[in-house]
Amino acid sequence: MKKMTFAFAAAIACVAVTSAAQTYPVRPLRMVVPFAPGGGTDVIARYVAQGITESLGRQVVVDNRAGANGVIGTEIVARAPADGYTLLFVSSPHSVNPSLYKLPYDTLRDFAPISLVALSPYVLVVHPSLAARNVKELIALAKAKPDQISYGSGGTGSSAHLAAELFNQMAGVKLREIPYKGAGPALLATLSGESAAVFGNALTVKPHIESGRLRALGIASAKRSPSAPQLPTIAEAGVPGYRAEAVLGMLAPARTPRAIIDRLNTEVHKLMRTPAAIEAMNRVGVDIELSTPGEFGRLIESEMQRWGKVIRTLGLKVQ
């Protein structure tokens, strides 16, 4: 009798979940962006939120919860109900943070991947006064003047810092870090000539490349970007195998019903395959890359391993 009661209860619960997924959504959704408004991740998240709002017929409200390199906002979603009404839009710090911090959540177990949305490759740019017009010339200059050519970073463990240190390791050079309080100040320092180089987000450096205030030497993607096909990859320009991209995608709390995950995955794919989305992403230097939930989960895990190796080699730890 107890077995039958348990089976009946399980069946009722299954029907309830299926019914909820079929009627989803019945109220507004919240998309937490664990970074400040106006940055690259926020810009892409807001584009996706607006597109999903139109397709679902329910408002998707972007909620910026910045702090601790994304940890604060990410924890909010880890603790949220697994009902599909609280989502998380992540970037590369999501895969980097486990190697830097003691986190209040498990990066893999506490989240359900929805989809990879885009890759935003970093661009190696230098001040025009630097006597290097391509990656090979920069490497030669850096080897001739070890620890004399500087680069700006957004601080220890920031994306620009790790991208530059990976370049140092793979190119066999020693560019000298000048840490700043964020990616914005690091970019401004290179614009002024205070630092010689920076690995910048394509979205933020593109206007300065076009104006001639910065010189682009290479893009850190695995293949040339459709938004800048004339710019060689750093891998083809002198550092084989080099790659450093911001991984942008959507997650939900763990145990969110699979039917809801699949619905959101479908909506994201439908939106990002439109000509309007392709044009908008090209305009800001972002490459659309979509995935299944499982593929995105595996990518996060592989990125954790890749950047964890760099961090261990550097002996980095943020208190």
Query: Model confidence over 5-50: pLDDT tens digits?
Result: 655 555 554 555 555 567 899 999 999 999 989 888 999 999 999 9
Rounded to an integer, what distance in angstroms lies between the CA atom of residue 30 and that of residue 84? 9
**pLDDT attached to residue 8:** 54
pLDDT at 182 over 90: no
Which domains does the chain show, CATH number per domain? 2-119+246-314 (3.40.190.150), 121-237 (3.40.190.10)
Burial of 41 (0-12, 13-18, 19+ CB in 10 A): buried
- Predicted model pTM: 0.87
pLDDT tens figures, 233-282: 999 999 999 999 999 999 999 999 999 999 999 999 999 999 999 999 98
CA gap 206, 209 in Å, rounded: 5
DSSP code at position 91: -
Residues 6+ apart with CB under 8 A from 32: 63, 65, 73, 74, 76, 77, 86, 87, 88, 89
